[in-house]
Amino acid sequence: MPTLDTLIDQSETRIFKAVFPNTTNHYDTLFGGTTLHLMDEASFICATRFSRKKVVTVSTDKIDFTTPIPQGSIIELIARVDKVGRSSCVVRTEVFMEDMYSLKRESVVTGFFTFVAIDDDKQPIPILEV
């Protein structure tokens, strides 16, 4: 059985996206809702890879949008398990923004997503086999 640290390392999830006009608002920056959608998706993949069980999002906490993400940027989402409970885990997801035509890169959004492992009847179960 792998250690907890190994499971966390192996489940880290990275997704890259380009910010195209169909995902931006009237300020030509990425919609906040689209950002949250992408973060929840990356977090879900991470939690699933960590537990290898069915998981559902039960809460989000402290999502900080520090810098607008302009159209034409590349973003990288990095999701990593931050805490582990009996039936849940908290995934920290950070969004980095890169300029397409330079080496400029900065962290622009960070958030925490809590997932609970469930059985076929949608009841909570241990997130890891002990």
130 domain residue, yes or no: no
Tokens of 42: 């990356």
Residue 126 in domain: no
As separate numbers, helices (DSSP H) first and strands (DSSP E) second, the chain gives: 2, 5
pLDDT at res. 72: 96
71 contacts 111 by C-beta, under 8 angstroms: no
pLDDT of residue 62: 84
pLDDT value for 47: 98
Check residue 6 and give its pLDDT. 96
Instruction: Report how many domains make up the chain.
Output: 1
All residue ranges of the chain with pLDDT < 50 are none
In a domain, 35, yes or no: yes
DSSP run (H or E) holding 9: helix 4-11
CATH number at residue 111: 3.10.129.10
Q: Quote the pLDDT of residue 59.
A: 97
Q: Domain residues for 42?
A: 4-117
| Global pTM value | 0.94
Position 58 scores a pLDDT of: 98
